[in-house]
Amino acid sequence: MKRIIITNKAPKAIASYSQAVECRNTLYISGQIAIDPETGNIVNGGIREQTERVMENIGAILHEAGYNYLDVVKSTCLLSDMSDYAGMNEVYSKYYKKEFPARVAFAVKELPLNVLIEIETIAMK
């Protein structure tokens, strides 16, 4: 049985998808971008500021579903430019200090709303 996760502490879906879906003690969080859930706007700044907002959005969804960052097993990081990798990794590392999740990071041609980063997350209990 699946459970749809929705919180107003993360951005509303901008298309036909759920913020997250839980199935059999596994939480699948849709790709999060740097939208401030309070304003609905993309955060100002560069890769560090955008990654911070993305990680906060992920944290809000994890919390709503009863998970935390230690439950994360896999992250997929999509960057608009691989030259932003170091800045993204600097912020990302603040949220995962031990028991790091598996991760892949790569550049894509374009991201929604022209953001610099999008992160998809899988967590398990």
Q: Parallel, antiparallel, or unpaired for β 102-107 and 26-32?
A: unpaired
Residue type, 116: L
Q: Which fold has domain 2-124?
A: 60s Ribosomal Protein L30; Chain: A; (3.30.1330)
Task: Kindly tell me if the per-residue pLDDT of 97 is higher than 90.
Answer: no
38's CB contacts (< 8 A; 6+ apart) are: none
User: What are the residue ranges spanned by the domains of the chain?
Assistant: 2-124
Task: Tell me the whole-structure pTM to 2 decimals.
Answer: 0.96
pLDDT grade, residue 98 (50/70/90)? confident
pLDDT digits over 87-96, tens only? Answer: 999 999 999 9
